[in-house]
Structure 1
């Protein structure tokens, strides 16, 4: 059962990813953007550490994201030598649209492929699966 659940969750993640247009962004770029969204402004070196990358590699990621208008750098108010990277408004909108597309796809799939009784079963299964991730 564990192997089937893992495979199913992986397939669901892939299907959800397909619903949002990531354009030409690499997985590393998307991961950096989502980390900035989740954790707020950060330096390139702190992003590199958090993502398990070399600083030079993160520099390449950041340069591409800046060129695409997804991130912007500003001097750190506490240490002007450091640059804090943050998401642009355009990036925040891109993330919002991507989430909405995934939500719409999943909602539509649930409603069109499952009966009312099956939806209740899925709802119960979701509650049980939450217990696996709750601390």
Structure 2
């Protein structure tokens, strides 16, 4: 049975994640679509299967997400230069711009929130970073 710390920490992290997700440049994209754009921007071109595995969804679900992003002009599909049978999915300039603007908006929001902390709160949060990263990467 979780104790009070478990509940409070879990709820706080969920609320922070929700607040960060709300800071986006384009409100019409789903979290899944934006996540795919982030992956492609960060890791480069990918196959549908690799994207599905990375996002932990089924290939048909990823195909629907990719189709929407292609229709919006945010990603492209092309034959892989290594293997013409494979389809390579890549982010377009418009997709990269959307990701960059969303990152900037989120960074500005987070910086503003952090600036409201006093010195002790900021130090406590800074000290917690290694533990939070350990939990995030587990």
TM-score (norm 2): 0.80
Give structure 1 regions of 4+ aligned residues with deviation exceeding 6 angstroms.
Answer: none
For each residue in 1:31-90, what CA deviation from the matched residue of structure 2 results, as whole angstroms up to 9, or x when unmatched?
322232333211223323433434333222211101111101222111112220011122
- 1:118 and 2:121 equivalent? yes
CA shift in 2, pair 1:110/1:28, >3 Å: closer
TM-score (norm 1): 0.82
- 1:23 and 2:43 equivalent? no
Partner-residue secondary structure (3-state), 1:4? helix
1:57 — aligned with what? 61
CA shift in 2, pair 1:27/1:133, >3 Å: closer
Instruction: Tell me which of the two structures has the higher relative contact order, counting C-alpha pairs closer than 8 angstroms and 6 or more residues apart.
Output: 2
- 1:97 and 2:131 equivalent? no
* Aligned mate of 2:74, from 70, 73, 89: 70
- 1:47 and 2:47 equivalent? no
For each residue in 1:76-106, what CA deviation from the matched residue of structure 2 results, as whole angstroms up to 9, or x when unmatched?
1111122200111221121111111111111
Structure 2 unaligned blocks of 5 or more: none
Partner-residue secondary structure (3-state), 1:74? strand
Partner-residue secondary structure (3-state), 1:69? coil
The more displaced of 79-88 and 45-54 is 45-54
